[in-house]
Chains A and B, each alone.
Chain A
């Protein structure tokens, strides 16, 4: 029974690999799907994926961390906490197409207004929406670990006259630091795999983006956009890209879980 689960994962890994080997090395170069002289390389998309996710992570950090502090340390119970928690749950439940729609109709005009990009698409726009999408993931894990910081440590610090900020800086962060880090790694993994919202906002250009407000593309969006009618070499490269995505998110999740394990040991 569970063997089914295991086999599932193995098969999944092997089939795309076979396809990839049949096509092999044209890899960290340019994506040129002009039928005829096709040469497929994944670099622009890898860059796009990493940049958007990193940016999203950076954007999310202040918010997620504050929420985590709030819920894990200062207001663990009570009405404020439940309201905040419900809101975070709501944020997490919203399907990504809806985020994409919101980004399109709300954020995009703002970007156009600010003159950052002529049509409002681009890396920044999608990272921004992505950041909001991963807030629940980053904050919930961090809140848990912050909660787990032994209270006698904190109380000792307070009794010595430390301000709240100092307690956070010198007690909570060193203690919960790796757990918080794990939470963000997992959120990063989530951001990398996010497809719909990014597809709707990133502008879908296949070149390496030159600045933060440029158009770009991510691995997931590429697959989403082109898989439907892909054949032959294009198909196998898209599948290979899927494998890449799988491997990257797999590694990130592994790291996150390992850090968590060490932390709770």
Chain B
């Protein structure tokens, strides 16, 4: 009974949470055309007496690019690690890899930002860049992908694999054409959850992608991202009203991704 009391306090908290935000946001959503091509300029600050024009397009594009590149890096790497781990159950190498993946998972996001800074910002691109941001984020995604790939593949009965092998299918083909498609639902879930986690990350991007006021397609240049925009708006007294709209969009994206992950895991689940 005590537990019930405690627990109801919580949902209330989170509901209040959302009410407060939505309340503020209904106001701003109409005030800026959402994915507008207008970019944030400091001039916005001057147009203070009116509705602040502009949108968060540079953030949206930035997030898409950074997350996209991060996925390009993390997905192949993660898949390979996951496949390796699921195929080798013992052995020192597997133990080491698992250990490393676990370690990576626990690293605070800002430390990863520092690392990406050291690796990429200084030597490679001599300056802040979207690429550095992607690298940091890809490290964050990696454990999620590796673990879900490993778990999913482990759950596939070995009879499937053995049947393919006994029919003469080469090992690598077995993996790519038989096991992976079968495990697609679990694997995709891990990938999407990884994406949703990094979509909202700000700290590593502050040290790597830095933010920019233009829509930027070059990954060796600084780039904006939605969470970064929220942070920038927050710190600028003239732009601060925009934080609600931007956060709402961010939240929407994340929730949609989460819902998508759940839907996919149900829909693509192969019964065996």
Contacts and interface: CB of A to CB of B under 8 A. Distances in A.
Contact of B108 (A6, A69, A220): A220
A9 to B, nearest CB: 5
B27 interface: no
A253 to B, nearest CB: 4
Interface-centre pick from B97, B103, B142, B201 (highest chain A CB count, 10 A): B103
B254 A1 contact: no
Interface in B65-108: 77, 80-81, 84, 93, 96-97, 100-108
Per DSSP, chain B at the interface is helix
B167 to A, nearest CB: 27
A98 B230 contact: yes
Contacts of A4: 77
B21 A102 contact: yes
Contact of A228 (B210, B244, B258): B210
A93 interface: yes
A252 B258 contact: no
Contact of B251 (A63, A66, A94, A193): A94
Given A97-B247, A101-B230, A2 B3 contact: no
Interface stretch (B4-12, B36-44, B152-160): B4-12
A213 interface: no
Given A93-B196, A220-B110, A228 B20 contact: no
A101 B258 contact: no
What band does the interface of chain B fall in when counting residues whose beta carbon is under 8 Å from A? 35 or more
Contacts, number: 182
B84 A2 contact: yes
Contacts of A74: 3
A194 interface: yes
A204 to B, nearest CB: 12
A237 to B, nearest CB: 12
Interface of B: 1-4, 6-7, 9-11, 13-14, 16-17, 20-21, 24, 77, 80-81, 84, 93, 96-97, 100-111, 113-115, 117-119, 139, 142, 196-197, 199-203, 206-207, 210, 227, 230-231, 234, 243-244, 247, 250-251, 254-255, 258
Interface of A: 1-2, 4-6, 8-9, 11-12, 15-16, 62-63, 66-67, 69-70, 74, 83-84, 87, 89-91, 93-98, 100-102, 104-106, 132, 135, 164-165, 186, 189, 192-196, 200, 220, 223-224, 227-228, 238-239, 242, 245-246, 249-250, 252-253, 257
12 contacts: A1-B84, A2-B93, A5-B77, A5-B101, A93-B197, A95-B250, A96-B201, A196-B203, A228-B207, A242-B115, A246-B107, A249-B108
